Structure 1
Amino acid sequence: MRRLGIAAALVLAAVVALWIAALKLLPDAPADRPRPVPASTAAVAQLPGLLHVPVRGVARSALRDSWGDARAGGARAHHGLDIPAPAGTPVEAAAAGMVEKLFESHDGGTTVYVRSPDRRWSYYYAHLAGYAPGLAEGQAVQVGTPLGFVGDTGNAGAGNFHLHFGLSRTAPDQHWAQGEEVDPFPYLVGRAPRR
């Protein structure tokens, strides 16, 4: 009987150890905030993973989630992540892909759209002061490839130097500016998005 008790205690200890190990493998829970990403098996299979911080020299710990913050006096919600940095700081590709569009827009100013190799993600870089030398549509980029420089173009406001980084889930046949906007913050700081 005593052997049975010892065996049961060992089995219980092993189960507890496995449970603790499994908890350590799970990602940290993000802040309790609604996220626009719908839960679905297809969506989970397409997650882009941890992204490179697209402004050179900015630490992950310095990033602040600005998704949903009021803009234009409350007329619209912010859909992206603003990364403040000094004017002219290099902006780098957050993920591998292809430069799909170099675009000058009223709101985003000087912008770059990069599409993932499977065309299921679009990475948007806005308010740039200018493009990296030689950057061209159709160009393949790797993580860290220079794309441009932090600026205040578009509706950023004079002297409000930052990169607006956007992330969209797209279908392969969608246009470069289409797709479902997704909060990029969890993908830059290493937290699982809320589903």
Structure 2
Amino acid sequence: MDTVVTKIGWTVVIAVLIGAFSIFAYNIGYGSGRGDVTVAGGKQLFDPKGGPPVMVAEGVVVGPAGLAIPVVGVKADQLVDTYTQARAGGQRTHDAIDIMAPTGQPVIAAAPGRVEKLFFSEGGGGISVYVRSDDGRWSYYYAHLSAYAPGLHENQLLQRGAPVGYVGATGNANPAGPHLHFAVNRMNPGEKWWQGTPINPYPLLAGKPVTR
């Protein structure tokens, strides 16, 4: 009976999270009219509100909450929930998920937004990007990149699926395990790019309960 109740509870939690993010994604999705993104070998998307078409990467996999899996070629069933794993010798939790992929695999924007900060931390996320949603309520953090996408710059507007960079192992990542460190933070008014309250991206991308 406890197992059934637990499953029902997680179903409700996921439904609430997906519902909230689906509304969020709908409100800031392709209808922004931005046409400043071009990706070689991509596909053309037409703005339902009459804006110019844009190009996004081929092979974009969109999770049930409206977020694209931010590494091209990675499927939902390949994701692993590393959100609560210990880091720094147990001094902190991960507060993100690691998406394993070969060095150089394209990294794309999980959601539309503006590049708020390009940052390098030798002892942390290495080559990293912070993207803030249009309404300022969410921040998406992409870290341990091997390089930025060509021409990427602060204040640039990105569509979901637009190029951000390439998988790597810069910063404090293990070179033997290149991956994208991907984090989502809920932002309060006035909070800066390094602030925010982390939430687990795993159920939003994979549509599965968080693991324990």
Task: Report the TM-score when normalising by structure 2.
Answer: 0.68
For the aligned residue pairs, the C-alpha RMSD in angstroms reads: 2.8
Q: How many residue pairs are counted as aligned between the two chains?
A: 159
Query: Structure 1 residue aligned with 2:132, among 93, 110, 115?
Result: 115
Q: What does residue 89 of structure 2 align with?
A: 73
**Closer/same/farther in 2, CA of residues 128 and 27 from structure 1, 3 Å limit:** farther
Q: What does residue 180 of structure 1 align with?
A: 197
Q: Percent identity?
A: 50
Query: Structure 2 residue aligned with 1:29, among 3, 8, 11?
Result: 11
**Closer/same/farther in 2, CA of residues 27 and 112 from structure 1, 3 Å limit:** farther
Deviation at 1:177, TM superposition (A): 1.1
- Structure 2 Cα separation of the partners of residues 154 and 190 of structure 1: 30
Aligned residues of 2:21 and 2:66 also touching (Cα < 8 A)? no
Deviation at 1:78, TM superposition (A): 1.0
- In structure 1, list runs of 5 or more residues that go unmatched: 1-25, 32-38
**Closer/same/farther in 2, CA of residues 187 and 153 from structure 1, 3 Å limit:** same
Aligned residues of 2:125 and 2:144 also touching (Cα < 8 A)? yes
- Structure 2 Cα separation of the partners of residues 45 and 171 of structure 1: 20
Q: What does residue 185 of structure 2 align with?
A: 168
- 1:127-184 CA-to-partner distances (Å, cap 9, x unmatched) read 0001000000000000110000000011112222000000000024211111101111
- Structure 2 Cα separation of the partners of residues 111 and 45 of structure 1: 26
Task: Report the TM-score when normalising by structure 1.
Answer: 0.73
- In structure 2, list runs of 5 or more residues that go unmatched: 1-7, 26-64
Q: Which has the higher helix share?
A: 1
Q: What does residue 80 of structure 2 align with?
A: 64
**Closer/same/farther in 2, CA of residues 178 and 85 from structure 1, 3 Å limit:** same
**Closer/same/farther in 2, CA of residues 84 and 51 from structure 1, 3 Å limit:** same
RCO comparison, higher one (Cα < 8 Å, 6+): 1
Tell which structure's C-alpha radius of gyration is larger. 1
Alignment of 1:1-195 (within 5 A): 29=11, 49-105=65-121, 106-191=123-208
**Closer/same/farther in 2, CA of residues 44 and 148 from structure 1, 3 Å limit:** closer
Q: What does residue 53 of structure 2 align with?
A: none
- Structure 1 Cα separation of the partners of residues 96 and 85 of structure 2: 10
Tell me whether 155-164 or 66-75 shows the greater mean CA deviation: 66-75
- Structure 1 Cα separation of the partners of residues 88 and 166 of structure 2: 24
